[in-house]
Structure 1
Amino acid sequence: MLTPLHGGPDAMGVPRHDLSSNGNPCGAWPAALQALQHADARHYPDPAYTALRRQLGAWHGVATDRIVLAASASEFIQRISLAVALTAGPEAAVWQPAHAYGDYARAAQAAGLPMTDAPQRASLLWACEPSSPLGQADAGLPQRVAALRSSQTLVLDQAYEPLRLDGAPSLDGAAQERVWRLLTPNKALGLTGVRAAYAIAPRVVAPALWARLHALAPSWPLGAHGVALLQAWATPGCGTWLQACRATLRGWKARQIEGLRALDWRVEPSIAHFFVASCADWAGDGGLLKLETELAALRRHGIKLRDCASFGLPGRVRMAVAAPATQDALLATLRHGVPAVSALDCSPARRVVQ
């Protein structure tokens, strides 16, 4: 069974300088925090979530019955994978991008769905834009959607769309009507500790899949705080705040990349508030062991980066855009080294052996 891996807090607690997780580095939206503080947790939510689903449907301009609530993105990934496995027949298989969130494969494995490298053979297809870990657009997504058959299900993970810093979505409105869109606002809102998500169903869904998906849903997937988070999300004030966040993050991202490149790091293109980067010392013989050792030393030093090996990109890290104070802490540590680690800086002239 594949082991779940994620950025953010770990057995050592919350990193002092966390660049491993993709929550909004601008912090939490104050209005959402206030909504959470006033959430009434004394009662069960409405089991049908009537008002919330109506609000989300109106926010997106779709019928209320197309809104499917989920305890989290990971819960929906597990649920729709099992629903496809139970309805698509013995030949069902899953396709995912070459570098993708590990829960897609974990859910397929749990549901007994084999992977295929041919999209046309898959019953369930995954897409993510901006992608993780690369933070890039999916150049082939429009073609895959255009080729979808009625027996196929494609889920577009839009976890990082609210903090897209460049470009426009690959799918136009008509194409989006043909896919499931999975949204997890807690990242953009800077509140990843609140687990709440929802999906927008395609305009046409096979009745058997629709029935199975709802039958597999837990009762009350969202508690009072998840409801409050999504209610705060689907408001004009949130959109205005996110627009300001994106402007700030563009400046922070440029500053961070400039600092890394000054230390001879390679930074790969990204349209998101995170990117993949690498150090020349991590290539060649012993490079992966050196990367692992250095990431562990950085973590002990209060700095956490996300190893991309689990994404199929060994020798690289995914790095979130961070506030200037965290950037300065990272760059100073890379420049001067940390205890028991040598060559944290890629530049031979600046390597420090301790």
Structure 2
Amino acid sequence: MKRLHGGPDGGPALRWDFSVNANACGPCPPALAALQRADRSRYPDPAYTALRQTLARFHGLPAWRVLVGGSASELILRISQRAARGGVRRVWWPAAAYGDYGHAAGVAGLQRCDRPDRAGLVWLCEPASPTGQAEPLLATAPRGLRASSAWWVLDAAYEPLRLSGAPSLGPAERDALWQLWTPNKALGLTGVRAAYALAPVHARDEVDALEAAAPSWVLGADGVALLTAWTSPGVQRWLADSLPVLRDWKARQLAWLHQQGWTCLPGDTPFMCVQPPAGLDLSPLRARGIALRDATSLGLPGWWRMAVLPPMATAALATALDGCGVGA
């Protein structure tokens, strides 16, 4: 079960990485400062009591509903395995989606099915990756289905990076689902692995079971520092200030892409799916320190996922494409 991701590939460092869905305004200075202050000489509290209370206050929830994890991928794997142990046999995820949903299903022995109402575990992501679009199922599924005994999990990794649109679900509806939060993307600190889940109001026993299934110290000092900083006013102000910058960069990038004849899917995030006017060979671009993400492994063959980067990155991409014979 080979997993494919954007970002580092074992070669020389990338100069302009269009393949990763991270906030290109980052790294967030106050979050980075919190990481530098982290005490790495001691184990964290294995129960993460203070961290869970901090995250609970941030979301206005009781602390028992907060489950910390080593990353979103780690939580995806742990939830899939827990669902399988509880008797779930079938899982559903969108046709275009993050590959770790399928990887975790394979590890847990779950079978993919073609209808969410027949699945015991349902994965959703909004705004979605790779498209950055709304998840139609959230608007059309009956409320009773969302609140059913099945595991419904909403991956909210890109909600903090929303540039347009609005969430399909209100707070009361979200209380019926599991929610995954991965702040490292929004803070431009993807190398720090840390995430958390918010449990539905009816799932206290499952939170206990998922905690019992975690390795000891699933988060190190860096992860604790990142998630604690995430809730601070200074970090949230920085994030809010970064969104207009990203909107401007996206508008400029889209204007250039359209001018060059690229097809771009609409979306609400600082990344998008694109098609060039001619075939695209990544090797010459990679040699120039530039990477895009082939969206085939994300369920969209023939498309590329492209992050929004500063205008100088778009200029570098234009020069590289001209050198590869894929310019205007």
TM-score class normalised by the smaller sequence: over 0.9
1:260–1:331 contact (8 Å) kept in structure 2: no
Residue in structure 2 matching 1:105, options 102, 117, 127: 102
Shift of 1:149: 5.3
Mapped contact 2:132–2:272 kept (Cα < 8 A): yes
Residue in structure 2 matched with residue 271 of structure 1 by the alignment? 268
* Equivalent position of 1:329 in the other structure: 316
Which amino acid is 1:226 matched to? G
Q: CA deviation at 1:139?
A: 2.2
Partner of residue 157, structure 2: 159
For the 8 Å contact 1:35–1:232, the answer to whether it is kept is yes
User: Given residue 17 of structure 1, which amino acid in structure 2 is its aligned partner?
Assistant: W
Give the match for residue 286 of structure 1.
none
Pairs within 5 Å for 1:1-354: 1=1, 3-89=2-88, 92-144=89-141, 146=143, 147-148=145-146, 150-205=148-203, 207=205, 209-282=206-279, 291=280, 294-334=281-321, 336-338=322-324, 343-345=325-327, 350=328
1:43-97 deviation line (CA, Å, top 9, x unaligned): 10111111110000000000001000000000000000000000025xx210001
**Post-superposition shift, 1:108?**
0.2
Q: How far apart, in 1, do the equivalents of 2:251 and 2:71 lie? A: 31
**Structure 2 unaligned spans of 5+:** none
Name stretches of at least 5 consecutive residues in structure 1 with no aligned partner. Answer: 283-290
The separation in 1 between residues aligned to 2:204 and 2:116, in whole angstroms, is: 19
How does the TM-score come out when normalised to structure 2? Answer: 0.97
Residue-by-residue CA offset, 1:179-219 (whole Å, 9 max, x unaligned): 01100000111111100000000111173x44432221111
Larger gyration radius, structure 1 or structure 2? 1
Between 1:210-219 and 1:130-139, the stretch displaced more is: 210-219
Q: Give 1:250's aligned amino acid.
A: R
Distance 1:81 1:148 in 2: 18
For residues 189 and 23 of structure 1, the distance between their equivalents in structure 2, rounded to whole angstroms, comes to 8
* CA shift digits 1:309-353 (9 cap, x unpaired): 11121111000000111111012222x223xxxx423xxxx4xxx
**Alignment partners' CA distance in 2, 1:49 and 1:212:** 16
1:304–1:9: structure 2 CA closer, same or farther, 3 Å change rule? same
1:87 and 1:255 map into 2 onto residues whose CA distance is 49
Shift of 1:140: 2.1
Residue by residue, what CA displacement relative to the aligned partner does 1:142-182 show, whole Å, maximum 9, x if unpaired? 43361235320111101111110001110011110000110
Please tell me whether the aligned partners of residues 127 and 156 of structure 2 are also in contact (alpha carbons under 8 angstroms).
yes
What is the identity, as a one-letter code, of the residue corresponding to 1:344? V
Letter in 1 for 2:4: L
Shift in Å at residue 267 of structure 1?
0.9
Deviations 1:91-140 (A, max 9, x none): x2100011000000000001000000111110100010110000101122
SS in 2 for 1:280: coil
Which amino acid is the alignment partner of residue 52 of structure 1?
Answer: L
- After superposition, what is the alpha-carbon deviation per residue over 1:10-48, rounded to whole angstroms, capped at 9, x for unaligned? 111331111000111002111111111110011101111
Structure 1 vs Structure 2: percent identity of aligned residues? Answer: 51
> For 2:100 and 2:264, how far apart are their aligned partners in 1?
25
Q: 8 Å contact 2:282–2:292 — kept in the other structure?
A: yes
Aligned amino acid, residue 193 of structure 1:
G
Distance 1:62 1:312, change over 3 A: same
Cα pair 2:65 2:207 within 8 Å, conserved: no
Higher relative contact order (CA 8 A, sep 6+): 2
The root-mean-square deviation of aligned C-alpha atoms, in Å, is 1.3
Give the distance between the partners of 2:299 and 2:39, measured in 1 at CA. Answer: 43
Hey, what's the Cα distance between the residues in 2 that align with 1:140 and 1:106? Answer: 22
Q: Are 1:180 and 1:202, in contact at CA under 8 Å, matched by a contact in 2?
A: yes
